[in-house]
Amino acid sequence: MWNDRYSSEHYIYGTEANVFLAENVNRLPRGNILCVAEGEGRNAVFLARQGYNVTAVDGSEVAREKALKLAAEHNVNINYLVADLTSFDLGIEQWDGVVSIFCHLPPALRQSVHQRLCRALKPGGVLLLEAYTPNQLKYATGGPKDEAMMMSVPLLEKELKPLHFQHLLELKRNIVEGIGHTGDGAVVQAIAVKE
């Protein structure tokens, strides 16, 4: 599915970083950052341009090719792994930061990934996340069509319990990210630290 979606010449979600990430990049510690469900590379390339050591993971080979092309255009390097999050080894206390932008997964897999991300962060490591809430179904401007794959403040409080939230908010905001996300969107944003 994702290989097909990414197979067009243009970047489905654009080439600019997610706004929430760009506005809060300084909250991420310097060091090794993991970008999950990274797609075509816009966020990973942005982070590499800020001097971070970036590893991206996604299930699409086509997305990887586009991401590496984007990185080359900006004269930066990213480590991009094609893997299934069901079985991908996130490591233990390996990452200074994890970035999860619109990583919508079926509930059981999402819970597993969130548990593993908490273990994968180093002490003092930061998770930065933005995702659609169930209210997004009213806007139809991007994201999954299945409410079970959406996120909310209570859900993140439960699934990311080991982390301390510095920022956790549901809001409506205008999102312009290529043709994939354009228009008003209902999102939840989180910045959380492993103490």
DSSP for 76-119?
Answer: ---EEEE--TTT----SS-EEEEEEES----HHHHHHHHHHHHH
pLDDT tier at 178, thresholds 50, 70, 90 = confident
Q: pLDDT tens across 47-88, in order?
A: 999 999 999 999 999 999 999 999 999 999 999 999 999 999
Please state the domain extents for the chain: 2-193
DSSP for 8-25?
Answer: SSS-TT-SSPPHHHHHHG
Please name the fold of domain 2-193: Rossmann fold (3.40.50)
State the pLDDT at residue 73.
97
Give the mean pLDDT of 184-192: 98
Q: pLDDT tens across 81-118, in order?
A: 999 999 999 999 999 999 999 999 999 999 999 999 99
Q: Which sign does the torsion angle of CA 56, 60, 65, 70 carry? A: negative
What tokens does 186 get? 């209902």
99 Cβ neighbours under 8 A, 6+ residues apart: 21, 28, 33, 34, 35, 36, 43, 47, 127, 128, 129
pLDDT over 90, % of the chain: 89
What tokens does 162 get? 């080991």
CA distance 29 to 19: 18
Model pTM above 0.75: yes
Is pLDDT of 4 > 90?
A: no
